[in-house]
């Protein structure tokens, strides 16, 4: 979307005007993989970006060309889903996957064989490019559900409750669950939702392992979940007991997005530390972003609250990026940090990127190099 507008990127030393050139630029500043979010539909469909299978395979081939590992996020949705809503998958492009009826009418027992076979099919297709997959990410911000087995978080009119699984799921809303005390919230989800999503994830993972014997997995919760340490631990505990504990635990982290948090950085550290101590597994910050200015349309302008020690400015963005990386490396608690859409300049997200858009030129902000600076401070 950005390149189609004729925008080019520079870090002051090199120019980038293609996807490959931008990926190479990121590598010079510390990138260690190529990532793609992949829905179940083959071609682009309206949603939050192009997450079609064909785009994902294109990114896999790019990773192979650059000799980088590939990190595919198998979203288990048709086009897009996150903590605000998890639509069902659409397997129209996989006629070999037979269903007993519409997805929302199925039981988990009916869903899991389909999910297993889908995992095998998508894994085989990705690996056929010759790329090496470092981690298979399953789902996107999934503590409130995945693959249509989810609460109706924002009151969507197209939501279909999975009543064949548990009629209580469809009755729950985001506002209601957020009003619950953390432990009560965790226990409701542990009773009504997570045992089912755990079996679903386990089925997908088994399908992928049937193709990739050495497969490793990661799954992440949302930027709300990162501030609920006890709930986050309960999420992974219930999923483990249902047969799925990822090799990397994960979370989104947008420090300025939650106006109720007094010190979001400290709270993130608390959750990540608790998860490490409980499960002996590192945490991957699967989405990370801090605004360099208040010119952020995303979130209705609410995601720009300064936090203790870090101003909403290019310098504040660089400082917290550096400090998050340094803390994660020093403690060993973070497996990695993925800046979210660091090149999505303009179009409402520009303040979160590591580039300042000047006409048609995206010029690197200090935050771009802050990732490597964070590594150097602990070397």
Q: What is the mean pLDDT of residues 216-221?
A: 98
pLDDT value at residue 356: 97
Written as one string, the DSSP assignment of 119-185 is HHHHHHHHHTTTPPBS-EEE-SS-TTEETTEE--TT--TT----TTT-HHHHH--HHHHHHS-HHHH
pLDDT over 80 (residue 87): yes
Question: What average pLDDT does the chain have?
Answer: 96
316 confidence band (pLDDT: 50, 70, 90): very high
Q: How far apart are CA 207 and CA 122, in angstroms?
A: 9
| Cα–Cα distances in angstroms (integers) from residue 273 to residues 115, 249, 328, 332, in the given order | 32, 12, 10, 10
φ, ψ of residue 338 in degrees (nearest 5) = -110, 105
CATH of the domain at 297: 3.20.20.80
Contact (CB, 8 A) for 244 and 156 = no
Give the Cα-Cα-Cα angle 44, 50, 52 (nearest 5 degrees). 55
83 confidence band (pLDDT: 50, 70, 90): very high
Burial class (CB in 10 A: 0-12, 13-18, 19+), 113: middle
By C-alpha distance, which of 117, 135, 106 is closest to 36? 135
Count of CB atoms within 10 A of residue 255's CB? 26
Contact (CB, 8 A) for 112 and 103 = no
Q: What is the mean pLDDT of residues 263-275?
A: 97
Helices (H), the chain: 19-28, 53-65, 108-127, 167-171, 174-179, 182-192, 194-209, 229-241, 264-279, 314-331, 367-376
pLDDT over 70 (residue 78): yes
Q: What is the mean pLDDT of residues 250-273?
A: 95
Residue recorded with tokens 């300025």: 256
Contact (CB, 8 A) for 317 and 304 = no
300 confidence band (pLDDT: 50, 70, 90): confident
Pick the residue with more confidence: 258 or 88? 88
49 confidence band (pLDDT: 50, 70, 90): confident
Q: What does DSSP say about strands 34-38 and 70-74: parallel, antiparallel, or unpaired?
A: parallel
Q: What is the mean pLDDT of residues 220-224?
A: 96
State pLDDT tens for residues 159-179: 999 999 999 999 999 999 999
Count of CB atoms within 10 A of residue 233's CB? 18
CA distance between the termini of the chain = 37
Contact (CB, 8 A) for 216 and 134 = yes
Q: What is the mean pLDDT of residues 281-307?
A: 92
Count of CB atoms within 10 A of residue 268's CB? 24
Range of the domain at 111: 3-376
Domain count, the chain: 1
pLDDT over 70 (residue 34): yes
Helix (H), strand (E) counts: the chain: 11, 13
10 confidence band (pLDDT: 50, 70, 90): very high
> What is the percentage of the chain residues whose pLDDT exceeds 90?
92
Contact (CB, 8 A) for 353 and 347 = no
State pLDDT tens for residues 147-159: 999 999 888 888 9
| Cα–Cα distances in angstroms (integers) from residue 219 to residues 36, 82, 231, 236, 254, in the given order | 14, 12, 15, 9, 17
The residue length of the chain stands at 379
Q: Is 352 helix (H, G, I), strand (E, B) or coil?
A: helix
State pLDDT tens for residues 93-136: 999 999 999 999 999 999 999 999 999 999 999 999 999 999 99
25 confidence band (pLDDT: 50, 70, 90): very high
Q: How far apart are CA 83 and CA 77, in angstroms?
A: 12
pLDDT value at residue 219: 98
Q: How far apart are CA 80 and CA 85, in angstroms?
A: 9
pLDDT value at residue 45: 79
pLDDT value at residue 379: 58
φ, ψ of residue 356 in degrees (nearest 5) = -105, 115
Q: What is the mean pLDDT of residues 43-48?
A: 82
77 confidence band (pLDDT: 50, 70, 90): very high
């Amino acid at each position: 979307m950005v390149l189609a507008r004729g925008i080019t990127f520079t870090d002051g030393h090199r120019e980038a005007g293609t996807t490959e050139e931008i990926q190479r630029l990121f590598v010079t500043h510390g990138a260690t993989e190529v990532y793609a979010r992949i829905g179940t539909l083959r071609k682009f469909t309206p949603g939050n970006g192009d997450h079609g299978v064909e785009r994902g395979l294109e990114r896999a081939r790019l990773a192979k060309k650059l000799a980088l590992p590939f990190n595919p996020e198998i979203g288990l949705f048709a086009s897009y889903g996150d903590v605000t809503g998890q639509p069902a998958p659409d397997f129209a492009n996989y006629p070999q996957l037979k269903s007993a009826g519409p997805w929302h009418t199925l039981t988990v027992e009916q869903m899991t064989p389909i999910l297993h076979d889908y995992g095998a099919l998508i894994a085989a297709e990705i690996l056929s490019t010759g790329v090496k997959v470092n981690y298979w990410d399953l789902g996107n911000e999934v503590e409130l559900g995945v693959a249509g087995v989810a609460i109706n978080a924002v009151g969507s009119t197209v939501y279909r409750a999975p009543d064949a699984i548990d009629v209580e799921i469809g009755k729950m809303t985001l506002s209601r669950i957020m009003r619950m005390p953390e432990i009560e919230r965790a226990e409701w989800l542990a009773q009504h939702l997570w045992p089912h999503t755990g079996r679903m994830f386990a089925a997908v993972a088994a399908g992928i392992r049937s193709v990739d014997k050495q497969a490793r997995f990661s799954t992440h919760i949302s930027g709300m979940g990162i501030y609920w340490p006890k709930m986050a631990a309960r999420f992974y505990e219930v999923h483990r007991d249902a047969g799925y504990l990822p090799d990397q635990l994960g979370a989104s982290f947008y420090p300025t997005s939650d106006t109720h948090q007094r010190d979001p950085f400290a709270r993130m550290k608390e959750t990540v530390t608790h998860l490490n101590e409980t499960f002996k597994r590192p945490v991957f910050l699967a989405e990370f972003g801090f605004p360099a200015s208040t010119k952020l349309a995303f979130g209705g302008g609410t995601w720009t609250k300064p936090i203790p020690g870090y101003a909403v400015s290019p310098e504040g963005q660089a400082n917290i990026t550096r400090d998050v990386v340094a803390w994660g490396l020093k403690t060993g608690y973070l497996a990695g940090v993925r800046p979210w859409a660091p090149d999505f300049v303009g179009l409402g997200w520009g303040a979160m990127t590591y580039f300042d858009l000047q006409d048609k030129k995206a010029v690197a902000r200090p935050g771009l190099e802050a990732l490597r600076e964070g590594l150097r401070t602990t070397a």
